[in-house]
């Protein structure tokens, strides 16, 4: 046996081998050492023909799922070697084979999976500067593929799917991506696989064969050379680990990252879309607010909607129309929700049915879910918006499937499929006959028992049964001498004897025979039912997706009604106009409607960039995130928390908010901040929305102010970027830029002074804040009085007047010159700092100014000259715009 073990283990060196021995899965040697620690189970030893006993530990087979889950969660892979023959029937050693390898990305047991989240296995292939990415959730059958060409985009995709396992080619490790960081940051198990998984031809073949197509163009994959390899590798890996046909993976969907709004990794984190920044929880996120879905499929789909907002107006409007129609028919909507409520996770149930791991209770859950479909379809029939009609059409009531299970499977069946007791009477004649024989047999046994009791006069004579000895008569010792000669002794106990008779043996044969045959017949019948459901996988998956869609729209509509959201207008003119907007999450976390609503107006012209000032705690970041979230909500098709909104579609949202400490990766806060700023400046377009909070905070005042200033100039220049931007800052000097840079407008969040204290009004108003109120905020926070008093003294000494005056001068100069050199493309921008002197000294207007002989000029001359110079300046400024 140990030899057999070693041979099997050789094939799965990177897995912990679960080796089936009777009722246990045993592990040996290194595996036993690792697993006993990881699972906290006792380590023992076993003779193995070597000098030392082999370390060994084991887990009972009936509880294997929970142990597998624990190991996989810790990042291990487990190979399960089953006994392939009944021990009684085997000649010599029982044959064993690895029937499945369980890995983080391929585990399907329900306790291991979060039902509101997909569990993705991701394949990444790096070839000639391109990353091919494929992600598959084998518990639901989802499979998508794409390509990107920078590691930043790659990280964005990884972040979007947050896979639990990543497989990659060796070149990927060489591509400059830090695999360790990948592991730490995404908690994914990353492994580079053997090159044979990434052969171009073998990948294409795997996909062609799985999807039964002659050419990959049939799958829409012709433009995805590297993507095909990633998808093919994933397919082969799944086949190798699951050793099953995976029929529920019915489609592969290629997508381009440009199809959706681009939200980079740090923006996803900053906006707390699906998990909070610190605690990584759902409570306190946009998902938490919007997710009132009733089914697991709906919950997963809504998450995808949030992670991939749309960029095409028509699609957004189609979704809005569905939400609106449900709003107007809220009684029908509530009725649909009632029917959605009892629906189980059809996609994952379908996965288990295809996998042949579904048990009778799964089928009953499946049937109970299907029973809801005709009702939902019926109600949907009353709706007229295009999307709801489409969902109605996609939804197959699956009555035949429902009927089949209803006829075949008992309402409350056992979990196991090998012990019978799950098939209904009347479903199969042979099963009925065997069941009858079994019950008849039991009556016969009762008759035999009373007959023998009478014959022998032993009053306590009883027919009993156990698994080892079958049926027997039990006679207590006090009646032993009354036992007749035809009783054949089977077993002696301390206080009783057990016997059989020829008649009892005959009866036993009939009963046990019938029982055995019934058990195996029921198993066969069950498998037939399961297989015929599996053969309808496409119909069921399509229906499950439709159910998910309906669920999402009911959820969006329910939230919109309850929270007083409005339907935003959608425009392609780049205008973002929000009246009385609210932060969807903060308003919900607050009791008693304390949230103060605020307006927003941004466009691609005079209101491109809002410089927002106000003391700490005034509500600047809340306001800016609110705008970003409202835009994102509008683009995913949701209604928005506002009184009115008109949203110009944004291609990307970038945020640089607060100090997102990245201590784990060893970068300083300022470095992280600047890396993010660099990314934004390089990747934003004029159709992007930028939310920048306190750029430059992480360094000295002068450097910080200069960087912030220069960034504003760059962003607001339509020649260089011209993106709509909310820019919060505590550098009041920056308010000087309004009027000198076109498109910049000052806003501040109002506060009221009350003696020495301040009251936050939370209202955004035009104009710049003149004070930072830092000391008052410190006082509010409870900094000791002596420190506050001393700070005030120092502040008076260190008046900012000088910086402000100097800033005003620079602002005036930069309004007359072009501070940044013309740069054709953002990524070719020379980010070297320019001194103002350099820029100014060669300027002809400046030179002329310099050379004016004021002492010889009349006031009128001076006026006329100034007028001429100013006109030239203005014309030049216009040209530059
Ligand atoms: P800042 O970025 O200016 O330092 P924050 O946006 O972090 O301020 O806001 C500070 C606190 O003020 C938030 O935690 C929130 O509770 C509250 N707040 C912000 N905006 C509003 C608002 N519009 N209405 C009510 N409370 C608000």
Q: Is 149 inside a domain boundary?
A: yes
| 625-650 confidence digits (pLDDT tens) | 999 999 999 999 999 999 999 999 99
5 lines ligand 1 (CB under 6 A): no
Tell me whether residue 608 is exposed, middle or buried, using C-beta atoms within 10 angstroms of its C-beta: 0 to 12, 13 to 18, 19 or more.
Answer: buried
Check residue 802 and give its pLDDT: 65
Instruction: Give the distance (Å) from ligand 1 centre to CA of residue 622.
Output: 5
Q: Are 438 and 518 spatial neighbours (Cβ–Cβ below 8 Å)?
A: yes
Q: 508-545: string of b/e by CB count within 10 Å (b at 16+)?
A: beebeebbebbbebbbebbeebbeebbebbeebbebbb
Judged against a pLDDT cut of 80, whether residue 799 lies above it is answered with: no
CATH number for the domain harbouring residue 632: 3.40.50.300
| 667-697 confidence digits (pLDDT tens) | 677 888 888 888 888 889 999 999 999 887 7
Structure tokens belonging to residue 154? 């790659």
Q: Which of 528, 551, 580 is the last residue of a domain?
A: 528
| 164-180 confidence digits (pLDDT tens) | 999 999 888 777 777 77
- Strand 54-60 to 689-693 pairing: unpaired
The reply, when asked if residue 614 is annotated as ligand binding, is yes
Q: Is 40 inside a domain boundary?
A: yes
Please tell me which residue, 875 or 570, carries the higher pLDDT value. 570
Find the range with the poorest average confidence among 258-262, 469-473, 853-857: 853-857
**Same domain, yes or no, for 237 and 299?**
no
Q: Is 108 inside a domain boundary?
A: no
Check residue 816 and give its pLDDT: 63
| 211-246 confidence digits (pLDDT tens) | 988 888 888 888 888 999 999 999 999 999 988 878
Q: Strand, helix or coil at 505? A: helix
Instruction: Give the distance (Å) from ligand 1 centre to CA of residue 192.
Output: 46
**Same domain, yes or no, for 557 and 584?**
no
Average pLDDT over the chain reads 88
817 pLDDT tier (thresholds 50, 70, 90): low
Q: Which of 789, 815, 841 is the last residue of a domain?
A: 815
CATH number for the domain harbouring residue 339: 1.10.1420.10
Check residue 697 and give its pLDDT: 77
Closest residue by CA, ligand 1 atom 20? 619
Instruction: Give the distance (Å) from ligand 1 centre to CA of residue 111.
Output: 39
| 83-127 confidence digits (pLDDT tens) | 888 777 777 788 899 999 999 999 887 777 888 889 999 999 999
832 pLDDT tier (thresholds 50, 70, 90): very low
CATH number for the domain harbouring residue 71: 3.40.1170.10
Instruction: Give the distance (Å) from ligand 1 centre to CA of residue 680.
Output: 25
Q: Is 114 inside a domain boundary?
A: no
Q: Is 12 inside a domain boundary?
A: yes
Closest residue by CA, ligand 1 atom 23? 596
The reply, when asked if residue 351 is annotated as ligand binding, is no
Q: Are 68 and 127 spatial neighbours (Cβ–Cβ below 8 Å)?
A: no
Structure tokens belonging to residue 861? 């001359």
Judged against a pLDDT cut of 60, whether residue 327 lies above it is answered with: yes
In the chain, the N- to C-terminal Cα span, in Å, equals: 82
Would you say the pTM of this structure is higher than 0.85?
Answer: no
Return the ligand 1 atom nearest residue 597 CA: 23
Instruction: Give the distance (Å) from ligand 1 centre to CA of residue 619.
Output: 3
Judged against a pLDDT cut of 60, whether residue 659 lies above it is answered with: no
The reply, when asked if residue 620 is annotated as ligand binding, is yes
Q: Which of 504, 528, 552 is the last residue of a domain?
A: 528
Judged against a pLDDT cut of 60, whether residue 825 lies above it is answered with: no
Instruction: Give the distance (Å) from ligand 1 centre to CA of residue 691.
Output: 16
Provide mean pLDDT across the span 34-40: 91
CATH number for the domain harbouring residue 254: 3.30.420.110
Structure tokens belonging to residue 403? 């009927």
**Same domain, yes or no, for 576 and 642?**
yes
Check residue 771 and give its pLDDT: 72
> Cβ of 161: how many Cβ atoms within 10 Å?
22
Nearest residue to 776 (alpha-carbon basis) of 791, 799, 758? 758
**Mutational pocket test of ligand 1: of 277, 284, 581, 586, the residue with most ligand atoms within 8 Å of the beta carbon:** 586
**Same domain, yes or no, for 16 and 52?**
yes
Check residue 866 and give its pLDDT: 86
621 lines ligand 1 (CB under 6 A): yes
**Same domain, yes or no, for 142 and 80?**
no
The reply, when asked if residue 621 is annotated as ligand binding, is yes
265 lines ligand 1 (CB under 6 A): no
- Strand 689-693 to 724-728 pairing: parallel
620 lines ligand 1 (CB under 6 A): yes
> Total structural domains in the chain?
6
**Same domain, yes or no, for 783 and 854?**
no
**Same domain, yes or no, for 493 and 582?**
no
Tell whether the torsion through CA atoms of 854, 860, 865 and 867 is positive or negative: positive
Instruction: Give the distance (Å) from ligand 1 centre to CA of residue 271.
Output: 15
Give the Cα separation of 114 and 680 in Å (integer).
34
**Same domain, yes or no, for 186 and 234?**
yes
Judged against a pLDDT cut of 90, whether residue 655 lies above it is answered with: yes
Give the Cα separation of 839 and 55 in Å (integer).
77
854 lines ligand 1 (CB under 6 A): no
**Same domain, yes or no, for 356 and 450?**
no
The region, left, alpha or beta by phi > 0 then psi within -120 to 50, assigned to residue 603 is: beta
472 pLDDT tier (thresholds 50, 70, 90): very high
Instruction: Give the distance (Å) from ligand 1 centre to CA of residue 785.
Output: 25
**Same domain, yes or no, for 35 and 183?**
no
The reply, when asked if residue 618 is annotated as ligand binding, is yes
Closest residue by CA, ligand 1 atom 10? 617
827 pLDDT tier (thresholds 50, 70, 90): very low
**Same domain, yes or no, for 784 and 840?**
no
Give the Cα separation of 668 and 679 in Å (integer).
17
Q: Is 661 inside a domain boundary?
A: yes
- What letter does residue 479 receive in the DSSP assignment? G
Check residue 506 and give its pLDDT: 87
Planar angle of CA 556, 560, 566, nearest 5 degrees:
120
Q: Is 821 inside a domain boundary?
A: no
Planar angle of CA 850, 852, 858, nearest 5 degrees:
150
Tell whether the torsion through CA atoms of 836, 837, 838 and 842 is positive or negative: positive
- Strand 462-466 to 189-192 pairing: unpaired
**Mutational pocket test of ligand 1: of 578, 619, 630, the residue with most ligand atoms within 8 Å of the beta carbon:** 619
Give the Cα separation of 602 and 35 in Å (integer).
58
Q: Is 474 inside a domain boundary?
A: yes
- What letter does residue 735 receive in the DSSP assignment? G
> Cβ of 841: how many Cβ atoms within 10 Å?
11
| 328-370 confidence digits (pLDDT tens) | 999 999 999 999 999 999 999 999 898 888 999 999 999 999 9
Measured in degrees and rounded to the nearest 5, phi and psi for residue 462 equal: -140, 145
Q: Are 274 and 290 spatial neighbours (Cβ–Cβ below 8 Å)?
A: no
Q: Which residues on neighbouring strands pair with residue 290, listed in sequence order?
A: none
**Same domain, yes or no, for 577 and 603?**
yes
Domain hosting 499: range is 429-528
């Amino acid at each position: 046996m140990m030899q057999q073990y070693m041979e099997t283990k050789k094939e799965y060196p990177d897995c912990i081998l679960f080796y089936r021995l009777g009722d246990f899965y045993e592990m040996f040697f290194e595996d036993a050492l690792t697993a006993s620690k990881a699972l906290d189970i006792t380590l023992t030893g076993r003779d193995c023909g070597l000098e030392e006993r082999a370390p060994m530990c084991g887990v009972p087979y009936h509880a294997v799922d929970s142990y597998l889950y624990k190991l996989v969660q810790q990042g291990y892979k487990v190979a399960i070697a089953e006994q392939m023959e009944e021990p009684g029937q085997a000649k010599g050693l029982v044959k064993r084979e690895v029937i499945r390898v369980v890995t983080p990305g391929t585990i399907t047991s329900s306790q291991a999976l979060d039902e509101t989240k997909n569990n993705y296995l991701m394949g990444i292939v790096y070839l000639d500067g391109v990353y091919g990415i494929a992600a598959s959730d084998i518990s639901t059958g989802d499979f998508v593929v794409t390509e990107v060409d920078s590691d930043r985009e790659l990280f964005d995709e990884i972040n979007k799917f947050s896979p639990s396992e990543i497989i990659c080619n060796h070149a990927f490790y060489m591509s400059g991506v830090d695999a360790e960081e990948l592991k730490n940051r995404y908690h994914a198990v990353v492994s580079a696989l053997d090159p044979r998984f990434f052969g171009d031809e073998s990948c294409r073949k795997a996909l062609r064969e799985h999807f039964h197509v002659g050419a990959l163009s049939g799958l829409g994959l012709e433009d995805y050379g590297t993507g095909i390899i990633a998808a093919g590798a994933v397919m082969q890996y799944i086949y190798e680990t699951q050793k099953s046909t995976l029929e529920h993976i019915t489609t592969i969907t290629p997508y381009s990252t440009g199809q959706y709004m681009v939200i980079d990794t740090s923006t996803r984190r900053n906006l707390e879309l699906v998990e909070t920044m610190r605690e990584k929880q759902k409570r306190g996120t946009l998902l938490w607010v919007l997710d009132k879905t009733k089914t697991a499929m709906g919950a997963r789909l809504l998450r995808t909607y949030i992670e991939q907002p749309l960029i095409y107006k028509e699609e957004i409007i189609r979704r809005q129309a569905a939400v609106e129609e449900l709003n107007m028919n809220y009684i029908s909507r509530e009725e649909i929700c009632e029917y959605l409520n009892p629906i189980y996770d059809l996609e994952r149930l379908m996965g288990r049915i295809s996998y042949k791991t579904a048990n009778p209770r799964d089928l009953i859950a499946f049937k109970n879910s299907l029973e809801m479909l005709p009702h939902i379809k019926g109600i949907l029939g009353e709706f007229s918006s295009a999307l709801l009609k489409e969902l109605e059409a996609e939804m197959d009531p699956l009555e035949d499937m429902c009927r089949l299970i209803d006829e075949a499977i008992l309402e409350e069946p056992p979990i196991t499929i090998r012990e019978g007791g799950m098939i209904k009477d009347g479903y199969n004649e042979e099963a009925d006959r065997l069941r009858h024989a079994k019950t008849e047999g039991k009556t016969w046994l009762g008759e035999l028992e009373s007959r023998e009791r009478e014959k022998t006069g032993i009053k306590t004579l009883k027919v009993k049964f156990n698994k080892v000895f079958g049926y027997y008569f039990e006679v207590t010792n006090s009646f032993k001498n009354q036992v007749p000669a035809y009783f054949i002794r089977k077993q002696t106990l301390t206080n009783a004897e057990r016997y059989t008779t020829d008649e009892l043996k005959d009866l036993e044969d009939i009963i046990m025979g019938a029982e055995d045959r019934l058990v195996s017949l029921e198993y066969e019948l069950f498998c037939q039912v399961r297989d015929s459901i599996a053969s309808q996988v496409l119909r069921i998956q399509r229906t499950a997706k439709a159910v998910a869609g309906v669920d999402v729209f009911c959820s969006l509509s329910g939230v919109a009604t309850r929270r007083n959201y409005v339907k935003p207008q959608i425009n392609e003119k780049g205008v973002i106009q929000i009246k009385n907007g609210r932060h969807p999450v903060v308003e919900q976390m607050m009791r008693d409607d304390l949230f103060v609503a605020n307006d927003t107006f941004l466009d691609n012209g005079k209101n491109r960039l809002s410089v927002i000032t106000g003391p700490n705690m005034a509500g600047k970041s809340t306001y800016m995130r609110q705008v970003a979230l409202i835009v994102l909500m509008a683009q995913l098709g949701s209604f928005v928390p506002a009184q009115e909104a008109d949203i110009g579609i944004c291609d990307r949202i970038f945020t640089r908010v607060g100090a997102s400490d990245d201590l784990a990766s060893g970068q300083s806060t300022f470095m992280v901040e600047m890396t993010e700023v660099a990314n934004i400046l390089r990747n934003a377009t004029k159709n992007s929305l930028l939310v920048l909070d306190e750029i430059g905070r992480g360094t000295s005042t002068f450097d910080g102010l200069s960087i912030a200033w220069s960034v504003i100039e760059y962003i607001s220049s339509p020649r260089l970027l011209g993106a709509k931007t909310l820019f919060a800052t505590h550098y009041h000097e920056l308010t000087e830029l309004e009027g000198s840079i076109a498109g910049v407008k000052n806003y501040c969040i109002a506060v009221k002074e009350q003696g020495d204290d301040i009251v936050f009004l939370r209202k955004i108003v035009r104009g710049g804040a003149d004070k930072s109120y830092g000391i008052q905020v410190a006082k509010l926070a409870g900094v000791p009085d002596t420190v506050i008093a001393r700070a005030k003294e120092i502040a008076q000494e260190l008046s900012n007047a000088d910086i402000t005056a100097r800033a005003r001068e620079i602002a005036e100069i930069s309004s007359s010159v072009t501070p940044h050199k013309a740069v054709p493309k953002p990524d070719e921008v020379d980010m070297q700092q320019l001194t103002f002197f350099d820029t100014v000294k060669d300027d002809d207007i400046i030179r002329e100014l310099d050379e004016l002989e004021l002492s010889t000029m009349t006031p009128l001359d001076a006026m006329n000259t100034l007028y001429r110079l100013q006109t030239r300046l203005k014309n030049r400024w216009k040209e530059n715009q």
